Structure 1
Amino acid sequence: MACTDSFILPTFRRSFLSLSLVFIISAFSCSCRASQVPVSVTVQQGDVSGTVVQDNFLGISFELYPFNTLWGESPQQMPTAMENYLSNLRARIESPLRIRIGGNSMDSAIYVPTQTEMIIVTGDPAAAPDDVPVDFGPMLFKVLDAMENVVGQMEFIVGLSMRNSNYTNAIEVASDTRKMLGYRLDAMLLGNEPDLYATNGVHPGYTIQEYITDIGEMLQDLRNSPYGDLVLDTIVGGPTICCDWNLSDVLSAGLSKYPYEYYTVQHYAKSICSGPNASNENITYFVSHVNVPAYTNWQKQGVQMANDARIPVLVTEYNTVSCGGSNVSDTFAATLWAIDAGLNYASSGMSGAYLHTREYGILYNLFDPPSPETSIEPNWRTGSPYYAALFLSETFMAGGSIVVDLNLDNSIYDPAATVAGYALYDRAGMKAKRLVFFNYYRADDPGSESAVRNFTLEGGLATTAGVRVLAAPNIYERTDISWAGQTVGLNGELDGTQTTEYYYDCAMGCNITVPGPGAALVLLDDAPDDSAFFFGSSTVAPLS
Structure 2
Amino acid sequence: MKPGADSLLLLALMFPVMVAARALPYFNPQLTASWTSQQNGPTVPSSFISLSIEWADVVLAFGKGNGSFACCNPTMIQLLKNLNGDLHGSDGPIIRIGGNSASRMWWSGATVTAFSRPQTQSSAVSTGSVKLLGELAASTGIRLILDVTEVPANPIFSQDFVQHGILPNIDPQYIVAIEVGNEPDHYLLRSAPYTWDNYTAEIKNYDTALEYALASTSIPLQGPSITGCDYQKLPCWLDKLPQFASDFPDFRYISFHRYGQLGQCSFLTGPTNTTIASLLNDPQPGDLDFIQPAFVQQLRQQNRELVLGEGSSVSCGGLTGISDTFAATLWAANMMFELAFRGVSRFHLHGVSTQYTPFKIDPATGNVQAGSIYYAAALFNRLHGGAANVSIFKPEIETSNVDFGVNPNLIKLWGIKDDTDGTVKYIVVHKDLNTMVDVGVVIKAGRCTSYNGIVTRLASFKNGIALQSGFSLNGQVLENGPNDLTTDGNWKGEPQWEDVWSDSNGTFVLTANPLSVTVLTIGIDPTCFSH
| TM-based fold match above 0.5 | yes
Aligned residues: 474
- Give distance in 1, aligned partners of 2:152 and 2:96: 22
- Give distance in 1, aligned partners of 2:436 and 2:255: 39
Per the alignment, do residues 526 and 487 of structure 1 end up closer, same or farther by CA in structure 2, a change over 3 Å counting? farther
- Provide structure 1 residue ranges, at least 5 long, that are not aligned to the other structure: 1-9, 17-25, 116-121, 124-130, 528-544
Query: How far apart are residue 455 of structure 1 and its match?
Result: 4.1
Q: 2:364 aligns with which of 373, 383, 390?
A: 373
1:146 matched to 2:135? The reply is yes
Q: 2:415 aligns with which of 414, 423, 430?
A: 423
- Give distance in 2, aligned partners of 1:275 and 1:218: 30
The SS at the match of 2:47 is coil
1:319 matched to 2:312? The reply is yes
Q: 1:219 aligns with which of 207, 210, 228?
A: 207
Q: 2:376 aligns with which of 388, 396, 405?
A: 388
Hey, what does 1:524 align to over in structure 2?
522
| Structure 2 letter corresponding to 1:513 | T
Per the alignment, do residues 27 and 484 of structure 1 end up closer, same or farther by CA in structure 2, a change over 3 Å counting? farther
1:205 matched to 2:172? The reply is no
Per the alignment, do residues 132 and 234 of structure 1 end up closer, same or farther by CA in structure 2, a change over 3 Å counting? closer
Per the alignment, do residues 188 and 498 of structure 1 end up closer, same or farther by CA in structure 2, a change over 3 Å counting? same
Q: 2:342 aligns with which of 348, 368, 372?
A: 348
1:271 matched to 2:262? The reply is yes
Hey, what does 2:493 align to over in structure 1?
496
- Give distance in 2, aligned partners of 1:509 and 1:453: 13
Q: Is the 8 A contact 2:105 2:148 kept in 1?
A: no
Hey, what does 2:123 align to over in structure 1?
134
Per the alignment, do residues 196 and 13 of structure 1 end up closer, same or farther by CA in structure 2, a change over 3 Å counting? closer
Per the alignment, do residues 306 and 12 of structure 1 end up closer, same or farther by CA in structure 2, a change over 3 Å counting? closer
Q: Is the 8 A contact 2:245 2:254 kept in 1?
A: no
| Structure 2 letter corresponding to 1:337 | W
Hey, what does 1:229 align to over in structure 2?
215
Q: Is the 8 A contact 1:458 1:509 kept in 2?
A: yes
Query: How far apart are residue 292 of structure 1 and its match?
Result: 5.0
Question: Alpha-carbon deviations, 1:23-60, whole Å to 9, x = none?
Answer: xxx9999976x844432121232163x43221221111
Per the alignment, do residues 483 and 219 of structure 1 end up closer, same or farther by CA in structure 2, a change over 3 Å counting? same
1:287 matched to 2:272? The reply is no
Query: How far apart are residue 216 of structure 1 and its match?
Result: 1.7
Hey, what does 2:176 align to over in structure 1?
186
Query: How far apart are residue 153 of structure 1 and its match?
Result: 3.0
TM-score (norm 2): 0.79
Which is further off, 504-513 or 302-311?
Answer: 302-311
Q: Is the 8 A contact 2:308 2:344 kept in 1?
A: yes
Query: How far apart are residue 394 of structure 1 and its match?
Result: 1.4
| Structure 2 letter corresponding to 1:336 | L
| Structure 1 letter corresponding to 2:376 | A
- Give distance in 2, aligned partners of 1:258 and 1:14: 44
| Structure 2 letter corresponding to 1:209 | D
Q: Is the 8 A contact 1:324 1:364 kept in 2?
A: yes
Q: Is the 8 A contact 1:64 1:102 kept in 2?
A: yes
| Structure 2 letter corresponding to 1:173 | F
Query: How far apart are residue 314 of structure 1 and its match?
Result: 0.3
Question: Alpha-carbon deviations, 1:345-384, whole Å to 9, x = none?
Answer: 01112111111124x3x211212123x2322xx3x33221
Q: 1:252 aligns with which of 243, 246, 250?
A: 243
Q: 1:262 aligns with which of 246, 250, 253?
A: 253
The SS at the match of 2:77 is helix
Hey, what does 1:110 align to over in structure 2?
106
Hey, what does 2:475 align to over in structure 1?
485
Per the alignment, do residues 521 and 238 of structure 1 end up closer, same or farther by CA in structure 2, a change over 3 Å counting? same
Question: Alpha-carbon deviations, 1:430-459, whole Å to 9, x = none?
Answer: x872221112253xx3xx252364443443
1:238 matched to 2:223? The reply is yes
Hey, what does 1:456 align to over in structure 2?
443
- Give distance in 2, aligned partners of 1:466 and 1:415: 26
Per the alignment, do residues 193 and 506 of structure 1 end up closer, same or farther by CA in structure 2, a change over 3 Å counting? farther
TM-score (norm 1): 0.77
Hey, what does 1:171 align to over in structure 2?
159
